[in-house]
């Protein structure tokens, strides 16, 4: 194989191109009808009441903690095995980030560790939890909601890896990631390595009308033409709170709409690829476990190996560009410096010493995957 095989990549086809080109000659490049259409279709897809399109998921996370009223010094729990943005949003609001450990088999924020951390502190110490559907595997939010309820916490589901993923609740109902039934707010990313590519982009979902209005206002400077105290004419608006410009454009939304329409097939293909990896590695290599009646949306396919750097370099020499997800957030220099380094997060650190993400994207061909599998197995077995 001479072409490089990355760990993830977007799939752009003619219908995507046509949709974007069409918006370029339409009346609106931004703040037009495509944004609302994308929001409505996205909400329908995940099963939430509301969706707010934003310029990226990091902005979405920022808006989420602001809408939930996070204030300076307030504390939020998240997982160390995530992209830094899941934690950074708390810092944007001058909150404190606390980390609980992961489960060593699912690699998700561990309910037990989270409960233990919460119960080791006085009531009211924490304000919220940000669990992450890591690699595309949905967190059991029904269980987290019960814990959150007990301690009066909000939940922001970082579902950036998981559009199309679901778990099954105790009543046997499928719960799609980001549907807002158990979390207050869900967050999705449309960065090109994620399922739906908009260049940059994100979506914030919720079932709460109050949160929806707050998110929509904060996304666009806190400026409104509705519910004004006074109205001096058609030009008039009020800025009722300090917001941001976190808007998505119509150009990006048009791409998001066509990309979204292919996500179901994309997730199915990702699961086919995962099944082939699992078949090849069963009883040989450890991979992320799958709780029953759960659909992993498979942003990633992660395995654990003892000589991780060796495998990474070996694959690279064959033009297979695996990746590591993630360096534990609490060990990043910024977080070390502000004193989050002394936590007892052995599962996360042990996981990080072994994890490696193999190529996983719908357009990965069977032949390419066979090549990857063959190289991985040949390295492991010498
Ligand atoms: C990609 C990602 C983000 C940030 O997404 P952007 O759209 O790039 O801002 C946040 N959380 C997780 C888990 C991610 O993977």
Instruction: Identify the residue whose C-alpha is closest to ligand 1 atom 6.
Output: 57
Q: Which residue out of 102, 165, 194, 324 has the highest number of ligand 1 atoms within 8 Å of its CB and is therefore the one to mutate?
A: 194
- Overall residue count recorded for the chain in this entry: 382
Cα of 235 from ligand 1 centre, angstroms: 37
Residue 331: left (phi > 0), alpha (psi -120 to 50), or beta? alpha
pLDDT the model gives residue 225? 87
Tokens of 114: 């989270």
pLDDT along the chain (382 residues), means of 10: 87 97 95 97 98 98 98 98 98 97 98 96 97 98 98 98 98 98 98 97 98 98 88 91 97 98 98 98 97 97 98 98 97 88 86 98 97 97 79
Query: Which atom of ligand 1 lies at the shortest distance from residue 201's CA?
Result: 7
- Residues having CB within 6 Å of any atom of ligand 1: 56-58, 82-83, 85-86, 132, 158, 160-161, 189, 191, 202
pLDDT the model gives residue 136? 98
CA angle 39, 42, 43 (to 5 degrees): 85
pTM: 0.97
* CATH C-level class of 264-380: alpha beta
Q: Which residues have CB under 8 Å from 70's CB, separation 6+?
A: 76, 90, 93, 95, 127, 128
Q: Which residue out of 64, 136, 189 has the highest number of ligand 1 atoms within 8 Å of its CB and is therefore the one to mutate?
A: 189
Q: Which residue out of 60, 63, 85, 327 has the highest number of ligand 1 atoms within 8 Å of its CB and is therefore the one to mutate?
A: 85
Report the candidate in 54, 129, 134, 168 with the shortest Cα–Cα distance to residue 297: 134
- The Cα 359–Cα 322 span in angstroms is 6
DSSP assignment letter at 181: S
In this structure, which CATH number among 3.10.20.30, 2.40.50.40, 3.40.50.300, 3.40.640.10 belongs to the domain 5-261? 3.40.640.10
Cα of 97 from ligand 1 centre, angstroms: 17
- H or E segment to which residue 354 belongs: helix 346-354
- The Cα 191–Cα 273 span in angstroms is 21
Cα of 223 from ligand 1 centre, angstroms: 26
- The Cα 185–Cα 169 span in angstroms is 18
What's the burial of 177, exposed, middle or buried (CB within 10 Å: 0-12/13-18/19+)?
buried
Domain range list for the chain: 5-261, 264-380
Query: Within 13 Å, how many C-alpha atoms sit on residue 252's CB side?
Result: 22
Query: Which atom of ligand 1 lies at the shortest distance from residue 200's CA?
Result: 7
pLDDT the model gives residue 205? 99
pLDDT the model gives residue 229? 85
């Amino acid at each position: 194989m001479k072409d490089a095989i990355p760990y993830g990549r977007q799939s752009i086809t003619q219908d995507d191109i046509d949709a974007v080109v069409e918006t370029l000659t339409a009346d609106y490049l931004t703040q037009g009808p495509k944004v609302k259409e994308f929001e409505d279709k996205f909400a329908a897809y995940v099963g939430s009441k509301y969706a707010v399109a934003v310029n990226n998921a990091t902005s979405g996370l920022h808006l989420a903690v602001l809408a939930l009223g996070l204030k300076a010094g307030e504390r939020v729990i998240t997982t160390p095995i995530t992209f830094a943005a899941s934690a950074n949003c708390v810092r944007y609001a001058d909150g404190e980030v606390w980390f609980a450990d992961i489960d060593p088999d699912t690699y998700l924020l561990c309910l037990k560790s989270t409960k233990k951390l919460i119960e080791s502190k006085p009531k009211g110490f924490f304000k919220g939890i940000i669990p992450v559907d890591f690699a595309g595997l949905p967190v059991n939010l029904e269980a987290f909601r019960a814990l959150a309820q007990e301690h009066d916490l909000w939940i922001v589901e970082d579902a950036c890896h998981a559009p199309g993923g679901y778990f099954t609740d105790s009543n046997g109902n499928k719960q799609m990631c980001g549907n807002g039934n158990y979390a207050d707010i869900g967050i999705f990313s449309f960065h090109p390595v994620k399922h739906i590519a908009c260049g940059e982009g994100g979506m914030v979902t919720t079932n709460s009308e109050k949160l929806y209005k707050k998110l929509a206002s904060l996304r666009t400077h806190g400026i409104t033409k509705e519910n004004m105290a006074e109205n001096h004419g058609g030009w008039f608006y009020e800025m009722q709170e300090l917001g941001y410009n976190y808007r998505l454009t119509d150009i990006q939304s048009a791409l998001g709409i066509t990309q979204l329409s292919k996500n179901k097939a994309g997730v199915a293909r990702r699961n086919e690829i995962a099944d082939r990896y699992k078949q090849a590695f069963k009883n040989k290599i450890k991979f992320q476990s799958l709780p029953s009646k759960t659909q992993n949306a498979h942003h990633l396919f992660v395995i654990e190996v003892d000589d991780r750097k060796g495998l990474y370099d070996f694959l690279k020499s064959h033009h297979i560009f695996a990746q590591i997800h993630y360096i534990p957030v609490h060990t990043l220099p910024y977080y070390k410096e502000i004193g989050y380094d002394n936590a007892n997060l052995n599962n996360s650190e042990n996981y990080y010493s072994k994890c490696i993400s193999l190529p996983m994207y719908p357009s990965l061909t069977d032949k390419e995957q066979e090549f990857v599998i063959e190289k991985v197995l040949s390295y492991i077995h010498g």
